[in-house]
Chains A and B, each alone.
Chain A
Amino acid sequence: MDAREQLHVLGRTGDYPPFAGKIREIHKHPLTAKGIDIVQINLGKRCNLSCRHCHVEAGPERSEVMTQPVLEKCLEILQSSPISTIDITGGAPEMNPHLEWFLAGAAGLERRLIVRSNLTLLGEEPYRHFLDVFVQNKVEIVTSLPDYVEAKSDRQRGAGVFRKIIAAMRELNSRGYGMPGSGLVIDIVHNPVGAYLPGTQAALEHEYRARLLSDHGVHFNQLFCLTNLPVGRYLDYLIASDNFEDYLSTLCQSFNPAAVDNVMCLTTLSVGWNGLLYDCDFNQMLGLTVNHGAPNNIMDFDIEKLKNREIVINNHCYGCVAGCGSSCQGATTVA
């Protein structure tokens, strides 16, 4: 489904008001950025996996990859702006040929540097050297592990993926990742394997920690719970399994006004593989560039115009404010 069709489907909120109306009801419209604290850079849609929930619809067949001039511009902006966090995502970032060069440049800026990796490439050539590249650049690794049960996790990400992740985590643990006092951080993202919302982050983290250690001898720092947003392949899944209406209703019913104040778009700027700017990675996949007068291309970056921009919203935004809230850093409110 292309972005236009997805937005059309998302318009069907039934008995519930569109997200913009809901925000108006609680007097928070328009939603306005509070600054740019995180720049999330999507290095491209190429990936070795084709996960069933992927909002990016990434896969081996995708050819969209961020080029070096766009990455150079990102570095230039980061150097001259007080942005604390560089968050690299994809696709599989390792499949972008410029990643190693970019990490070296970004590490020199002494900011918080995150790479969202599926880890499965780290056991294969020509990607194994990234195990050491990540250590050298003190990269914080965030990896998706939808469940601590292999069969369940593989239902979402593909056969054999769970074992590869566990193997990579063991190697990273042996280099200090997830171990006390090392300063090397590896966090796990949990997202539901199906049409329901994630449970309490603390309860799930406790269970993950116990099960991964006892069953696989693996350590990690934090668990982040992410709500699956009805975008990309996950939207396809919801429709094909006849869960779309129920799921969207659940998101609308679970609207949490307190989570609105902490949505990630208020402090994040998302950069697409081709340099276009978005309020978040989900807007990126729906083709909703930053708007309301802010420049929408990295080449025209202007922090003054972007830092207090009005956020572009649509009904998928219900996902980030449902229940305890959801962001790339996990729940946004405490249960």
Chain B
Amino acid sequence: MILNHVQERRKLIRLAYPNIRQTLPPPDKTRDRRLKNKSKEFCVSYYEPKDLADFPNIGEWAAEQGNKFFEYYGAATGAGKLTEREKSLIALAVAMTQNCPYCIDAYTTKCLSLGIGSEEMMEAAHVGAAMMAGVTLAHTTQMRKIIKKKEM
């Protein structure tokens, strides 16, 4: 991400000032590599796959609320009128719309475990995507109302 940003900036500068290349230092591959590694470190330190195993410990320092949450979580995601499969697909779609890597990991694996096919999971992803697009566009109502009110 950081590396792309640097490259993008270089590209914009070159477009705006075609001659500036002469004054810029030559591309520094070592620095690019360092930035790339830094970007990796950034991602790794915040979102490590193995941290998913820490989820059962989120009740630490607030055991009562934690226990209540897990009780609720279990009841909400377990089979009821809806099957475990249906609930897992809903959870997967929500996980993707909320950009939660832990939930995406957990629910993709759970869907696989329940025999849910990749096509079904992709359909669920599109429901999430369509909802996000719809939610965004539905909010243009507010934008359009304000524009209409404030413009002459």
Interface residues of A (CB under 8 A from B): 147-149, 152, 190, 192, 194, 196-200, 203-204, 206-208, 246, 249, 253
Cβ-defined contact, A199 with B115, below 8 A: yes
Contacting pair B49 A204 (CB below 8 A): no
* Nearest CB of B to A143, in Å: 17
A253 to chain B: closest residue by CB: B53
Q: In the complex, which residues of chain B have a beta carbon less than 8 angstroms from the beta carbon of A190?
A: 115
Q: Would you give 16 A-B contacts (Cβ < 8 Å), ordered by A?
A: A147-B115, A148-B115, A152-B117, A192-B113, A194-B112, A196-B109, A196-B112, A199-B84, A199-B114, A199-B115, A200-B84, A203-B79, A204-B114, A207-B85, A249-B50, A253-B53
B45 within 8 Å of A (CB atoms): no
Residue B110 lies at the interface, judged by CB distance under 8 Å to chain A: yes
In order of increasing CB-CB distance, the 5 nearest A-B pairs are A199-B113, A199-B114, A196-B112, A196-B109, A203-B84
A200 touches B114 (CB 8 A): yes
| Chain B residues within 8 Å of A, Cβ to Cβ | 49-50, 53, 79, 83-85, 109-110, 112-115, 117
Looking at the assembled complex, report how far the CB atom of B36 sits from the nearest CB atom of chain A, in whole angstroms. Answer: 20
**Contact check: which of B112, B113, B117 meets A149 at CB < 8 Å?**
B117
Tell me the nearest residue of chain A to B56, going by C-beta. Answer: A253
Query: Are A203 and B50 in contact, CB atoms less than 8 angstroms apart?
Result: no
Q: Which residues of chain A come closer than 8 Å to B113, judged between CB atoms?
A: 192, 196-199
Complex Cα spacing A253 to B115, Å:
21
Chain A residues with CB under 8 A of B84: 199-200, 203
Majority secondary structure of chain B interface residues (helix, strand, loop or mixed):
helix
Closest-CB distance, B63 to chain A (whole angstroms): 21
* Cross-chain contact of B53 among A192, A197, A208, A249 (Cβ < 8 A): A249
Among A149, A192, A199, find the residue whose CB has the most chain B CB atoms closer than 10 A.
A199
Q: Report A-chain residues with C-beta under 8 Å of the C-beta of B85.
A: 203, 207
- How distant is the Cα of A207 from the Cα of B115 in the complex, in angstroms? 8
Q: Which residue in chain A gives the minimum CB-CB distance to B52? A: A253
Question: Counting chain A CB atoms within 10 Å of each CB, which of B49, B53, B85, B115 scores highest?
Answer: B115
* 8 Å CB contact of B49 from A203, A207, A246: A246
Query: With A and B bound together, what is the CA distance between A147 and B116 in angstroms?
Result: 10
**Cβ contact of B110, chosen from A149, A199, A206, cutoff 8 A:** A199
Which residue on A lies nearest to B112, using beta carbons?
A: A196
* B83 / chain A contacts, CB cutoff of 8 Å: 203, 206
Q: Which of B50, B53, B110, B115 contacts A204 (CB 8 A)?
A: B115
Q: How far is the CA of A203 from the CA of B112 in the complex (A)?
A: 13
Shortest B92–chain A CB gap in Å is 14
Instruction: For the complex, give the distance between the alpha carbons of A47 and B50 in Å.
Output: 39
> Which residue of A is nearest B117, CB measured?
A149
Q: How far is the CA of A249 from the CA of B85 in the complex (A)?
A: 25
Give complex CA distance A200, B113 in Å: 8
Which residues of A sit under 8 angstroms from B112, Cβ to Cβ?
192, 194, 196
Q: How far is the CA of A204 from the CA of B84 in the complex (A)?
A: 10
In the assembly, what is the distance between CA of A194 and CA of B84, in Å? 20
- List residues of chain A with CB within 8 A of the CB of B50: 249
Shortest C-beta distance, A149 to chain B (Å), equals 6
Nearest CB in chain B: distance from A104 CB, A: 38
A225 (CB) vs chain B CBs: closest residue: B113
**Closest beta carbon of chain B to A214's beta carbon, Å:** 15
A208, B110: Cα distance in complex, Å:
17
Residue of A nearest to B109 (CB): A196
A194–B53 CA distance with the chains assembled, in angstroms: 20
**A246: chain B residues within 8 A (beta carbon):** 49
CB-nearest residue of chain A to B105: A246
Smallest beta-carbon distance A107→chain B, Å: 35
